[in-house]
Structure 1
Amino acid sequence: MTTTGLFLLAILALGFLITFQIAKASEYVSVLKGEKKSFEQNNRINGFLMVVFLVLGLIGVYLCNKALYPKTLMPYPSASEHGENIDTMLKITLLITGIVFLLTQILLFWFAYKYQYSEKRKAFYYPHNNKLEMIWTTVPAITLCILVGFGLYYWFKITGEAPDNAMKVEITGRQFGWIYRYPGKDNVFGKKYFRMIDEADGNILGMLWKDSTMHTPNGVQNIKADPTGYDDIIETSAMYLIKDQPVKLIINSRDVIHDVGLPHFRMKMDAVPGTPTTMWFTPKYTTDEMKKITNNPNFEYEIACDQMCGNGHYSMKGLIKVVTRDEFILWRAKQQPGYKPATAAAPAPAEQPAAPADTAKKASAGALVPNSTLASNK
C-alpha cells in the first residue's frame, strides 16, 4: 500500500475514534443529567433547528435562483419556433414542481417542530387511509401524464416531416468536430460510403466522387461514382442558416455516438453511426439580432455535443451563423463544391440546358437557394 493510502486509512480510523468518543461522552452526560431531562432538552433543540434549517434553506434557494438565473438561457427568448413551446412546457413544469416542493418542505420541517414529543400530548397512530392514498397517487399520476403528453406532442412535431420549403443541411459528428454538407444546384445530396473516407485525400465524408474497387471479406466490390455529389458543398467552420427559413437537419456520425445539442434553439438529437436521424426548426433571430438581445457582442449560436464521446468531448463545439436571405445567397455564391480540392481528376457535372432569357434570374438564384424555397416565396 502506498504512503497516500496509509495516510487516508489513518485519517478514517482517527475520525471513527473521535466519533466514538463523542458518542460515549454524550452518553455519560445523559446519565449525569438524567435520561429524561437530556432527551427533552435534545428534542427541543432539534425541533428549533428544524425551523432554522427551513428558513435558511428557503433563503438559500432564493439567493441561488437570484444569482444563477441570469446565467441560464431562460432570461432570453428561444431562437426557434419549436423552442417557444419547449420553454412554455418547461415553465409550467417548474411552476408545478416548485409549488409542490415549497408545500412539502414547509410542512415537513414545520410538523417536525410543532409535533415534537410532549408529555401533554399522546401520539395518535394513523397507519392507513384509502381516500388520501388515492388522492396523492392519482393527482401526481394524472399531472405527469399530461406533461409527458405535451412533451411527446412537441417531440413528434420536431422530428416529423419538415415543410416543403425547408432547406436541407446534413451535419455529421466526428471525434471531435462537426462537418456540414449542403446539396448543390440539383438540390440532391450525393451518395457516400464510410469505407471511402480518406482524410489525406480530403474526402472526409466518404463521398463517391470516383469509381473505385475495394477488397472486402466477401470479395471484390466495385463502387461507382455518384455524379449528384460533385456539386455538394462541404464545410467544417460553421453552419449557415436563413432567418425565418425552415431547416431540416439530417444528422449522422462518422465514428461513435454524438449528440447535436442546440441550446439556443432548445433542441437536441443523437447522432448515431449508420442510423441517420432528423429534426427541423425555423430560426427566429439572426446572429446579429441575438447579439443585441443578449447584450453580448461576442454571441454565437453554439452546437454542443451532448453525449460523452471521448477524451476530446469538451472541445467538440460547432457554430451556427443565422443570416438574412441575401447574406446567405452571397455566402453560398462564394463556396466551392467539396470534390474540387479533393479529387482533381473527377469528371465535371453534366452541363445543364441553357435557361430562357426570361427565367435567367430565377435560375441564377436557384443555384444558391433550394428550388423549393424559391417556389414558396414567389
Structure 2
Amino acid sequence: MSGFIIIALIVLVFIIIYQIAKASEYASVLRGEEKVKAQTNRTMAGLLVAFFVLGVYGIWKCHELLIDKMLPVSASEQGVGYDSMLKVTLIITGLVFFATQAILFWFVWRYQATEKRTSFYYAHNNKLELLWTTVPAIAMASLVAIGLRNWFNITSQAPANAAVVEIVGKQFNWIVRYPGHDNELGKRDFRKINDANNILGLDWNDTHNLDDIISPSGEMHLVVNKPVKLIIGSRDVIHDVGLPHFRMKMDAVPGITTTMWFTPRYTTEQMKQITGNPNFVYEISCDQMCGKGHYSMRGTIIVQTQAEYDAWMASQQSYYAQNNAAPAAAPAAGDSAKPKTDSVKVTAMK
C-alpha cells in the first residue's frame, strides 16, 4: 500500500508541474510573449547573482563553523611543510575560483538577451589562447614542484640518528616491530608466518630476531623531537599507513617494502593540552579500502619523552621470549654498539 501511495504522489507532482507550465504558457499569450521573456530573463539573472552572493556567504560561514573541527597543528616537522603547501594551494585556487565565478555571474546579469542585442561569433585569438594556457600551466607546475619537494623530503634517506620501526598491515589490524638491544631488525620469511606464534614470519636462525619486540595491537611508541623511519609492509592486500596528525601517508604493499620518515614535534600529553581534549590520541588509519573490516583497522601512536620511552621499552619482553619456552641468550655487550640498520631483510619468493 505504501508503495502505491508513493507512486500516486509522484504522479500528482508531475501533474501539478504540467499544469503550472501550461498556466505560464497561457499567461505569456495574454501578456505578450516578448514581454514575458524579457521579464523572465531579468528574474533569472537576478536569481543567479543572488545565488552567487549567498553561495560565497555560505562558504565563509561554513569555514567559521567548521574551523574548530579541523585537524590541530601538525604534529611533525615535515607536516608543517604540507600545511604550508595546502595553504598556498587554497589561496591560489580560491582567488581563481572567486574571480572566474564573479566574472561568470556578472556576465549573466550584464549581457541579458534583448531584442537589440545580437550574438557575436568570436572564432579564435592566438594571444588569448596562449595566455589562458600558459598562466594555468605555470601555476600548476609551481604547485607540483612544491609537492615534490615535500615528497622527496619524507622519502629521502633518514638521518643517521633516526629510530627504526616496522609497521605491517594485515586484515584488519596493524603489527608494529621494534629492534631490541642490538638495534637491528632481523630477517623475515613469509613462509614462516604463523598467527599462533610468529605473526611476521621471523627467521629464528637470525639472532637479530631474538630480541625484537612486537606489538600486535597496533600501538606505536615514538620519541618526541627524534626522527623515526617507518619500514612499511603488508601481509595480505594493499593497505595504507595514514597518519593524519603528522600529515603523512604511505601505501603498504604486499611483497614490497616502502619507507618514510618524520620527526614528532609534540608528545601525546602536549597535544592533549593544545587541543584541549583529555582523550586525544594520535591515530593510525588505513587509507586504502582493504576489505569488509576496513573500518576497524585503526592503531594508535604514543609520543613520549626519551625517558618515558626507555622505561616503556625496558618493560617489554621480546617476541621470541613470549613464544618460546626457553628464553633466548642475551646479546653480547658489543652488540648494542652496532650501527642501526634501516632496512628489513625479507626472504624472496623462489
TM-score under structure 1 length normalisation = 0.83
Q: Which residue of 2 aligns with 1:169?
A: 165
Write the letter of the residue equivalent to 2:184.
V
1:26 is displaced (CA, Å) by 2.7
- Say yes or no: does 1:38 pair with 2:19: no
2:73 to 71, 77, 85: 77
1:149 is displaced (CA, Å) by 1.2
Contact between 1:261 and 1:303, CA under 8 Å: does it hold in 2? yes
1:144 to 140, 143, 150: 140
Write the letter of the residue equivalent to 1:332.
M
Q: Which residue of 2 aligns with 1:66?
A: 64
The whole-number CA distance in structure 2 between the counterparts of 1:13 and 1:342 is 70
Write the letter of the residue equivalent to 1:136.
W
Contact between 1:170 and 1:251, CA under 8 Å: does it hold in 2? yes
Q: Which residue of 2 aligns with 1:212?
A: none
2:99 to 76, 81, 103: 103
Write the letter of the residue equivalent to 1:128.
H
- Say yes or no: does 1:178 pair with 2:174: yes
The whole-number CA distance in structure 1 between the counterparts of 2:121 and 2:157 is 58
The whole-number CA distance in structure 2 between the counterparts of 1:185 and 1:163 is 20
Write the letter of the residue equivalent to 1:296.
N
1:48 counterpart SS class: helix
**Percent of counterpart pairs with the same letter?**
58
1:102 counterpart SS class: helix
What 5-or-longer segments of structure 2 have no aligned partner?
342-350
Q: Which residue of 1 aligns with 2:262?
A: 281
1:248 counterpart SS class: strand
1:7 is displaced (CA, Å) by 7.1
1:57 is displaced (CA, Å) by 0.7
1:244 to 193, 214, 225: 225
1:180 is displaced (CA, Å) by 0.5
Root mean square deviation of aligned Cα: 2.3
1:169 counterpart SS class: strand
Q: Which residue of 2 aligns with 1:319?
A: 300
Contact between 2:181 and 2:331, CA under 8 Å: does it hold in 1? no
The whole-number CA distance in structure 1 between the counterparts of 2:206 and 2:287 is 33
1:283 is displaced (CA, Å) by 0.7
TM-score under structure 2 length normalisation = 0.90
Contact between 2:230 and 2:260, CA under 8 Å: does it hold in 1? yes
Q: 1:1-378 residue pairs with structure 2 within 5 A?
A: 16-73=14-71, 76-199=72-195, 201-209=196-204, 225-237=205-217, 238-345=219-326, 348-349=328-329, 352=332, 366=336
The whole-number CA distance in structure 2 between the counterparts of 1:279 and 1:351 is 29
1:304 counterpart SS class: strand
The whole-number CA distance in structure 2 between the counterparts of 1:255 and 1:282 is 29
Q: What is the total number of aligned residue pairs between the two structures?
A: 340
Write the letter of the residue equivalent to 1:83.
G
The whole-number CA distance in structure 2 between the counterparts of 1:90 and 1:282 is 20
1:11 is displaced (CA, Å) by 6.0
Contact between 1:291 and 1:299, CA under 8 Å: does it hold in 2? yes
Judged with a 3 Å threshold, the aligned counterparts in structure 2 of structure 1 residues 117 and 351 are, in CA distance, closer, same or farther, namely: closer
The whole-number CA distance in structure 1 between the counterparts of 2:291 and 2:15 is 43
